[in-house]
Amino acid sequence: MRASADLPLFSSYLESGQLILTPGKRLARQITHSWLSQLTHTVARPPSVQPVDAWLEQQWRNAVESGRLPAAQLLSPLQEQALWQYVVREDMEKRGSFSLSHPKSAALRAQSAWHKLLMHNAEGIQSLWDFFKYDDDCAVFASWVRVFSEQLSARGAITRYQAYQQLRTVTPEERPCVALYPYPALPPLTSNVLDHLCEVTRLHPTINTQNPCKVVEFSTREDELWTVARWARDQSENGLQRIGIVLLDMATDRGPLEYHLREVFDCLDASYNDLPVNFSTGMPLGSTPMYRDLLLALEWEVRPITSHQWLSLLRSPYLEVSSAGHEHLQLISAQFRSGSHSITIEQGLHLGMMFAPEMKLTEILRCTKSDRATIGIKSLAEWAEVIRHRIALWGWPYRSGLDSIEYQQLNHLEDSFDTLATLATILPHQHFSRALDYWRECLAATMFQPKTPQDSIQVLGPLEALGGQFDAMWVCGAQQHVFPTPRRLEPFIPAAIQKQLRLPSFDDALLREEADTMLSAWIAGSAEVTASYHCWDQDLPRYPSELLPPATPSAGRVAQFPSTWTLDRITEPMPAEPPLVVNSDSQIGGASLIKDQAACPFRAFIKHRFRPTEIADPVIGLSAAERGALFHDALFHFWRYAQSQSQLLRLDDTELSTQIDSAVTEAMAAMERGCEGRGFSLRERVGASCWDLEKEVLLRVMAEWMALEKSRKEPFVVDQLEAEHSLTLGNVTLSLRPDRIDRMEAGGSVVIDYKSRAPAKTHWLGDKPQEPQLPLYTLLDEDIEGIAFGELSVSDPVKLVALGERYTLTNREAPPLSKQTDGFADDWPALTRRWKEVLEHLAADFAQGEATVDPTPTACQYCSLSSICRIQHVDYADEPREESRS
C-alpha cells in the first residue's frame, strides 16, 4: 500500500525525532499516519510533525507565559472576522450613505487586505498610510484599520500576524533545528519569524523528469468531469488505493463532480453515504440539511421566508411539524392562494389557527410568539441558551433514525455554541437577530468532513494536493486564466504599495512560478499524472494552460446509467375494469373551454376534463387578475347606482367623484374581506402604500372611463350586470356571465366586456378565434346587435374596441361590416351565423374527445402544459435530419 506522504523525504528527520513543520494540517496528518503505518512496533512515540501556524502560536504562548512578551488575548480567525464585521458595520451605519458593498463582504475584503499588509512587512514602508489618501476606497480602509486597532487595544487583544511580529522581537533561548516543507511558499513574515527562532532546513521533493504529465482535451466542462468520475471508478476497481483528483476551480466543479461520482459508484439512493470519496474542503456545517432546516426555522422569527422555504420547512424530517392528516396541504394551498412570495411568522400562525389548529407547527408558532425571551439585547453567551430553548421547541433533530453522517453533524452542535460564547468576549451585547447571524457564521466556519478511509479517492484543491503521494492523479480544469491564477488587484491597497511589496496576486511572474512549482510537486508525488481542460464554457472558447504539454483529444462521451435503471422490473397484470358509468354525455364549462379548444385541442382536453390545479407564480403588489377583479367590481357597484347614460349625465363633477370613490372603496373592501376569508390579508401582502396607490389608479381610470361613457352618441340603459346565462352547443353546455349588457334607446342590445388590454377584432374571427368570448355572447339573444371590449388600461387611454353594424359605440361613422371583419361576413346576421358554425364545430370537437397537439402560432407562449404535451420534442422529431437533407 502506497504511503500518503513522501516518507523518504522526511524519514531521516522522523527517525531522529526532529521537528517537521508543514504549511497545513492535512500534510501533517498524512506524514504522521504514513510513518506510524509502516512501523512494526506495537508501541511507538508519535512523530513531531506540526503545522507552521500552530507551532508559532505555541511559541508565542510560551513567550507570554515566560514573561518575555506582554500578556494579550490571541484572537481566533473567527473572532477576528467578527470584530472586523462589527467595525465595518458600525462605520457604514454612521456614514449613512448608500453602499454597493454588504458589510460582511466588505469586512472579509478588509481583513484580507490587512493580513497582506502584515504578512509582507508593510510597516517598513516610510509614510505607508499617506499612500491611502488618494483613493476613496483605500482611505475608508485606512480608517477601518485605525478603528480596528483601537478596538484591539481596548480589549487587550492581538491577531495571529501581530503575534508573529512580536515573536521577531524575542531573543530565542535556543534555536532548534526544524525541517520545513516549503510548498506552498510561506508569507515573508512567517518565513522571517521561523528563521529568527530556529535553524530551518527546507525540504524539496525530487523532481521526476521521466514522468511527463499526460494532457487530455474535452469539449465541455460536463464531459471533462464525467470522464474524471469514470476514470476514478476504473482506477479504484483496478486496485489502486491512493487516487487523487485535483480541482483547480473547486467552487464551480465540486458539485457536478460529486454528482457524477455518485452516478458511477451507484451512490445516489439508499447507498448515498457509501461513496468512497473524501473531499478535502468539506462542507460548511450550516449548509448541511440538518442545520439548514434548523436555521430556517429559527430565522423565521426575525425575518420573512419565501414560499419555497415555507415548503421546505413543512417537509423537513428534522423538525417536529409533520401531521398525519391533510393539514399540510391545506396550509400550502392557503399560502399559495394568497399570491405572496414571502410569509412572516405572524402570517404562518394565522394560517395555522385557521386551517390546522391542532397541528404541531401551530403549537410551536403559538409558543414562539408568546415567549418574550428574544426581546432586548443580551450577550452572545446568553443568546446561546435562548437558541438552545428554541431548538428544543422545534423538536430538532426530530427524525429518530439518524444515519452515521447525521450523528457526526449533530456532535458539532455544542462546539458551535462554545464558539459563539467566545465571540462574547470581543463583541458587545446584541439583538436576537444579530445573534442568529453570528451563530450562522460559527456554523459556516465549522467545516464538516465525513470520516472516510485514508485510502479512498481524494478530491483536493491545488494546495491540499502538495506533499501527498498518489498511485494516480488527475488535475482537472487546467485552463488559461485558471492555472496559473490571473493577477488580481487588491481594491483596498494602493497599486504602488502592492507593487512595492511584491504581493503574489499582483505579480504575474510569481504567479507563474507558483503554478509551475505546484505542477512539479504533483508530478513528483504521483506515479501517473493526467491534466485536462475543456475547450468551451458558456459558449466561449477556452484554451489550455501554457504550462501544459500538447493535449490529446478525448474520445466521445458514451452514456452511462445507474445500475438501478437497468434492473428488470417485476410487473403484474392490470385487472380488467369496466368503464366508469356516467349519467350524461354532456360537458359543462365556460367560455375558456372554447378558447382553449381553438388554441389547442390538447390543452382543452387536459384543462377541462382532468382539471389540474395550477399554482400561480408569486407576485409583488396586486396581480393582473386581482386588479381586473377590482375594476369589474367597482364598475358593477357604480352602474348598479347610475343605471343609465342619462343618469350619468345628470351627475355633476362632485357627485360623480363621490360615486366613483364609493364604488372603488366598496370593491376594495369586498376583496379584502374575501382574502381574509381565505386566510390572508391582501392589504398586508401588497403593503399599505401600494394599496393606497392602487386606489388612486382605480379612481383615475374610472374617471376616464366615465368620461368615455358620457361621450357615447347612442343613449343606453344598463340592462344586465354580470347576469348568469347558459348556452348549449351540441353536447356542451357553457356557463356564461357577460360583464354588462346595455339596452339601446333605439332598440337592440350591446354586450360590453371589460379588459385591461383589449384584443384586436381579428382575434374574434376565423375558424379558430383566439378570443371567442364575445362571439359566444352574441348567441345568447337575437336582440344583441353589437359587441365591444372596454379597455381599462392603467398606462394608456381607455377605449372601446367594438364590432357591430347598427351600433359601433364610437362617435364616428362606422365602415361596412365586411370591412370591419376583413370579408369574414357581409352583415350582422351572416356574422352571427358564421360564429355559430365555428363555435358549434369547436364544441363538437371537444365533446368527441379531440385532443390533438395542434396549437395555434401563439398558443404556447403562455401555456403551462409544455411538459405534458412535449411540443418541443414533437417539433424536434418532425424536423428532417442532416443526413436526410444531404
pLDDT digits (tens, 9 = 90+) for 606-665: 998 888 877 767 777 888 888 999 999 999 999 999 999 999 999 999 999 999 999 999
- Look-up of cell digits 492523479: 473
The CA distance from 829 to 836, in Å, is 11
Phi, psi of 69 (to 5 degrees): -135, 150
- Look-up of cell digits 403484474: 572
Mean pLDDT computed over 319-347: 79
CA angle 680, 681, 685 (to 5 degrees): 100
CA angle 515, 518, 522 (to 5 degrees): 140
Phi, psi of 810 (to 5 degrees): -120, 165
CA nearest 264: which of 279, 246, 276? 276
The partner residues of 177 in beta bridges, in order of sequence, read 199
- Model confidence at 525, pLDDT cuts 50, 70, 90, reads confident
Residue 391 amino acid letter: I
Residue ranges of E strands in 170-233 = 177-180, 199-202, 214-220
Q: Which of 250-259, 309-318, 604-613, 863-872 has the lowest mean pLDDT?
A: 863-872
Q: What is the pLDDT of residues 758-802, one digit of tens each?
A: 888 888 888 999 999 999 999 999 899 899 999 999 889 999 988
The CA distance from 30 to 455, in Å, is 11
- pLDDT the model gives residue 684: 80
- Model confidence at 173, pLDDT cuts 50, 70, 90, reads confident
Contact 261, 225 (CB under 8 A): no
Contact 51, 24 (CB under 8 A): yes
- pLDDT the model gives residue 564: 55
- pLDDT the model gives residue 356: 85
Bridging pattern class, strands 19-22 and 177-180: parallel
- Look-up of cell digits 485514508: 454
Peptide bond into 494 cis (omega under 30): no
Beta carbons within 10 angstroms of residue 847's beta carbon: 16
- pLDDT the model gives residue 454: 57
CB neighbour list of residue 338: distance below 8 Å, 6 or more residues apart: 675, 678, 679, 680, 685
Give the strand order in the sheet containing 732-736: 587-589, 732-736, 725-729
Q: What is the pLDDT of residues 707-736, one digit of tens each?
A: 999 998 889 999 999 999 999 998 889 999
- Model confidence at 165, pLDDT cuts 50, 70, 90, reads very high
The grid cell for 530 is 493526467
Contact 651, 642 (CB under 8 A): yes
Q: What is the pLDDT of residues 404-443, one digit of tens each?
A: 888 889 999 999 999 999 999 999 999 999 999 999 999 9
- pLDDT the model gives residue 15: 86
H runs (alpha helix) in 479-585: 495-501, 508-524
Contact 732, 586 (CB under 8 A): yes
CB neighbour list of residue 658: distance below 8 Å, 6 or more residues apart: none
Peptide bond into 816 cis (omega under 30): no
| H/E stretch holding 624 | helix 624-642
Contact 818, 826 (CB under 8 A): yes
- pLDDT the model gives residue 877: 45
The answer, yes or no, to whether residue 878 has pLDDT greater than 60, is no
- What phi-psi label fits residue 687: left (phi over 0), alpha (psi between -120 and 50 degrees) or beta? left
- pLDDT the model gives residue 11: 86
3-state secondary structure of 802: strand
The overall pTM is greater than 0.85: no
- pLDDT the model gives residue 870: 77
Half-sphere CA count of 273, side-chain side, radius 13 A: 10
Residues in the chain: 886
- pLDDT the model gives residue 98: 55
- Look-up of cell digits 371567442: 772
Contact 472, 240 (CB under 8 A): yes
Sequential DSSP letters for 454-505: TTSEEEE-TTTTTTB-BSEEEEE--BTTTSSPPP---TTS-HHHHHHHT-GG
- Superfamily of domain 214-282+455-553, CATH level 4: P-loop containing nucleotide triphosphate hydrolases (3.40.50.300)
- Give how far Cα 714 sits from Cα of 643, 778, 798, 818, 882, Å: 15, 19, 18, 22, 63
Residue 157 amino acid letter: A
Mean pLDDT computed over 230-258: 91
| H/E stretch holding 258 | helix 250-264
- pLDDT the model gives residue 689: 87
- pLDDT the model gives residue 886: 36
- pLDDT the model gives residue 156: 93
Cα 115–chain centre separation: 32
The answer, yes or no, to whether residue 464 has pLDDT greater than 60, is yes
DSSP letter for 607, please: I
The grid cell for 87 is 467595525
CA dihedral 720, 722, 727, 733 (to 10 degrees): -160
CA dihedral 172, 178, 180, 186 (to 10 degrees): 0
The CA distance from 602 to 604, in Å, is 5
- pLDDT the model gives residue 245: 95
- What phi-psi label fits residue 156: left (phi over 0), alpha (psi between -120 and 50 degrees) or beta? left
Contact 753, 791 (CB under 8 A): no
- pLDDT the model gives residue 208: 63
The grid cell for 200 is 530551518
- pLDDT the model gives residue 884: 39
Number of H helices, E strands in the chain: 34, 28
The answer, yes or no, to whether residue 237 has pLDDT greater than 50, is yes
Sign of CA dihedral 180, 181, 183, 184: negative
Fold category of 284-448 in CATH? PCRA; domain 4 (1.10.486)
CA nearest 600: which of 777, 840, 863, 835? 863
Q: Which of 77-81, 424-428, 535-539 has the lowest mean pLDDT?
A: 535-539
- Give how far Cα 54 sits from Cα of 68, 449, 767, Å: 19, 21, 82
Mean pLDDT computed over 579-594: 66
The CA distance from 515 to 531, in Å, is 13
More confident residue, 391 or 859: 391
The grid cell for 485 is 491564477
499-514: b (≥16 Cβ within 10 Å) or e: ebbebbebbeebbbeb
Architecture field, domain 587-618+714-852: Alpha-Beta Complex (3.90)
The CA distance from 856 to 874, in Å, is 15
Mean pLDDT computed over 208-218: 79
H runs (alpha helix) in 643-761: 645-650, 653-677, 682-686, 688-711
- pLDDT the model gives residue 882: 41
Q: What is the pLDDT of residues 545-585, one digit of tens each?
A: 998 888 777 655 555 555 555 555 556 666 666 654 444 45
Peptide bond into 47 cis (omega under 30): no
Mean pLDDT computed over 530-534: 93
| H/E stretch holding 148 | helix 136-155
CA nearest 869: which of 622, 596, 634? 596
Beta carbons within 10 angstroms of residue 301's beta carbon: 17
End-to-end CA distance of the chain: 58
- pLDDT the model gives residue 885: 39
Q: Which of 240-244, 367-371, 665-669, 752-756 has the lowest mean pLDDT?
A: 240-244
The partner residues of 530 in beta bridges, in order of sequence, read 214, 474
Bridging pattern class, strands 283-284 and 243-247: unpaired
Helix orientation angle between 413-423 and 77-95, rounded to the nearest 10 degrees: 50
The CA distance from 631 to 628, in Å, is 5
- pLDDT the model gives residue 589: 80
Bridging pattern class, strands 457-460 and 277-279: parallel
Radius of gyration of the chain (CA): 37
Beta carbons within 10 angstroms of residue 554's beta carbon: 15
The CA distance from 311 to 318, in Å, is 14
DSSP letter for 879, please: S
| Mean pLDDT computed over every residue of the chain | 86
3-state secondary structure of 190: helix
